[in-house]
Structure 1
Amino acid sequence: MTAPRPMLVVIGSANVDFTVQVERLPQMGETVSGGDFRLSFGGKGANQALAAQRAGAPVVMIAKLGRDPNGELLYQHLTAAGLSADGLLRDDEAPSGVALIMVDSQGRNLIAAAPGSNRRLTTADIQSLSSLAFAGRMLVTQLETPLETVEYTLRQARDHGMTTILNPAPGRLLTRDVLVLADILTPNETEASLLTGMAVTNLVTAREAGEHLREKGSQTVIITLGANGSLLVRQDEVRHFPAFPVTSVDSTAAGDAFNGVLATALLEDCPLEQAILRANAAGALAVTKRGAQKSLPTRQEIDALIRT
C-alpha cells in the first residue's frame, strides 16, 4: 500500500482584489489619474496556498468566505483552481474580504484591505475542521484572520506534530507566547521593524532584528528583503541569500510566492538553504507579472530560473 503524500495546510484569508495601475503612488490627500483597472483574486492565505500548489504541493486551504457576490466569485475561483471546497467555510452575515491596490510604474504598491468574513474565522471554525486542519505535515498561516485563531491554530498544529510557518503579515506586535509557536517566522522588512521596534533597512539591521526575534522566542527567522533577497537567522547561522536579478512590474504577491514555495520545498525534505533559494526564485518571478495569483510561478518556471 502506498503511503499518502505529506500534505500542506494553509489557514488564512481570501480576498477579491481591485487594482488600479498608476504612474506614481499618490501623496496623502492627493488624487492621481490611474490607468487600467482589473478585478482579480488575492488574500495572503489564498495566494500562499496557490503558490504552493503550483510548486507541486498537495494543499488544503481553510478560509471563510461571505455569501455575497464576491464570495461566490472566490468560491468558484478557488475550487476551479483545484482547492477542496471542504475547507471553504461561508459566513451569512459578513461580506467577503476585499483589497484595494495601487501599483506604480516601478511595480511598487499600496494596499488597503477590508477583511470582512476573514475576520470571522474563529477557533470554533478550526475545531470543526480539525480532522482536516491538523492532518498534514506542515501548516502555514498569516495575520489576516483573528490573532486568537492564529494562536490556537499554531498551538494545535504543534501538538499534532506539524511544522509551523508564520508569515506575520500584515505587520503587528506579537507576544512571546505567539512567536514560540512558529518553527519558522517569515517577516519582510516592514513587519520585522514592527515586531522589533527597529528600523530594518539593510542587511546589518535585518540581522539585528532577526537576532532580537530569536531572543523573543522565534526559533528560525527568515527576513525577506525585496531586491536584496532574504536573510536567514537561526542558532549558530546567519546567511544572506541574494535576490535573482529581474525587472519588477508588480510586487503584490512576492512575499506570498516566497512563503508558499518555501513550505513546498520543506515539505519535500529540501534542506532549509535550498528551500530558501527556491523561495527567492519564486518571489523574483512573481514581481515580473501583474496581479497577485496570476503572477505565481509554476514549478517548471522556478526550476528554469534557478538553472540560469
Structure 2
Amino acid sequence: MTNKVTVLGSLNVDTTLRIKRMPQPGETLQTENKSSAAGGKGANQAVAAARAGAETSFIGKIGKDSAGQFMVESLKDDHIDTSSIATDETVGTGSAFILLDEEGQNSILVYGGSNQQVQKAEVEAAEDKIKNADFLIAQFETPQAAAIEAFKIAKANGVTTILNPAPAATIDPELLKYSDIVTPNETESATLTGIEVTDEASMVANAEKFAEMGVKNLIITVGSKGAFYSTAAGHDFVPAFTVKAVDTTAAGDTFIGALSSQLKPDLSNIADALVFAQRASSITVQRLGAMPSIPTYDEIIAASK
C-alpha cells in the first residue's frame, strides 16, 4: 500500500559555492564553482518521500518572485501536490548559501524569507491534505506555531506526526505533545535534552528524556555511523552503509523522506524502514547538490542488491 505523506516546511533556492576549505574569519577565498538548485529542508524531504514512492503533498509559502515559481515547478516535476503552497506578497522566497569543501563537508547560511510567514491560516486551508495523510512531517525552517496547528489537526484525525527538530532550536513544549516521532541528529538531540550522545546508553537516556517531554518514539541519526531508534517495542542501532561522501547536503532530509515512504503508521517495521532510509541517504551523499542528489525508489532497491 502506498503511504500518503504531507510535508509542512521550507522552500529554498540553494546556491552552492565549492571551495578547497572553509575560510577563516576575515579571510577571502576564491570559489571553484557556483551552482543553484531547488532545496529547503521541507522541499528536500517531500522530494525524497515522493521519489521513494509516497503520494506526497506540500504545505508552505513562497514569495511573489521567479524563485518561488521555480520551487513550485521543481516539486511538480516530482508529482508532488503543490496546491497548498501559498504566496506572500511582501517577502521573498527563502534561500540558502552552501559552502562545500573538498572533503564533502558543508556550512550553510539560510535566509528564511516567506518560509517564516507560514501562518495558522495556511495550515487550516490545507486541512484536507493533513487529514488524508498517513504521516505529517514538519521541521524548524517554518514557524513552530504553524507546526503545532498542523499537528493538532493530524492527531485529531489519527495521522502519525514526525517532527524533525532541525535546525536545532528551543522547542515549544506543546509541539512535543503532538509529536509521535522526533528525529534529531546527535547534536540536536543533545541540545534538546541536555544529554550528550556518546554511546547507546546515552541514546537510551535521550529517549527517556524525550518520553518525559511527551514523545514516545525517538530516532537519532548519527551521521556516517547510522541511526538509533527507541519505541514502545524496544530500541536498537541500525548501522549506516559505508560510502565515499562527496556532498552531505540533504542527507538527513533524504533519510526522513525515504523513511516516511516505507514506515507503517504503527511503526511495526521501523528497523526495515530505517535500513531503507539509510540506503537512500548513502546514495545522496555520493552526489552533488541537495534535491538533484536524492534517489528514486528503483535506485534505492538496486543499491540494496
TM-score, with length taken from structure 2: 0.94
Query: Aligned pair in 2 of structure 1 residues 146, 288: CA closer, same or farther (>3 Å)?
Result: same
Q: Which residue of the partner structure matches residue 284 of structure 1?
A: 282
Mapping for residues 168-207 of structure 1, pairs under 5 Å: 168-207=165-204
The CA RMSD measured in Å over matched residues stands at 1.8
- SS at the partner of 1:279? helix
Report whether the alignment pairs 1:100 with 2:92.
no
Query: Aligned pair in 2 of structure 1 residues 288, 268: CA closer, same or farther (>3 Å)?
Result: farther
For 2:276 and 2:224, how far apart are their aligned partners in 1?
15
Mapping for residues 1-308 of structure 1, pairs under 5 Å: 6-235=3-232, 237-267=234-264, 271-307=269-305
Deviations 1:119-178 (A, max 9, x none): 111111111221223222211111111110011111111111101111111111224322
CA drift of 1:202 comes to 4.5
* CA contact 2:264–2:270 (8 Å) conserved in 1: no
- SS at the partner of 1:156? helix
Amino acid at match of 1:149: A
* CA contact 2:144–2:175 (8 Å) conserved in 1: no
CA drift of 1:234 comes to 2.6
Instruction: Give every structure 1 segment of 4 or more consecutive aligned residues whose post-TM-superposition deviation is greater than 3 Å.
Output: 201-207, 267-270
CA drift of 1:11 comes to 1.1
For 1:229 and 1:144, how far apart are their aligned partners in 2?
24
For 1:5 and 1:200, how far apart are their aligned partners in 2?
34
* CA contact 2:2–2:53 (8 Å) conserved in 1: no
Equivalences, count: 304
CA drift of 1:91 comes to 0.9
CA drift of 1:306 comes to 2.5
* CA contact 2:18–2:99 (8 Å) conserved in 1: yes
Deviations 1:89-140 (A, max 9, x none): 1111110000011111111111111110011111111112212232222111
Query: Aligned pair in 2 of structure 1 residues 122, 189: CA closer, same or farther (>3 Å)?
Result: same
* CA contact 1:163–1:183 (8 Å) conserved in 2: yes
- SS at the partner of 2:16? strand
Structure 1, unpaired ranges of 5+: none
TM-score, with length taken from structure 1: 0.93
- SS at the partner of 2:288? coil
Deviations 1:167-206 (A, max 9, x none): 1111112243221211111001121121112333454433
CA drift of 1:35 comes to 1.1
CA drift of 1:210 comes to 2.8
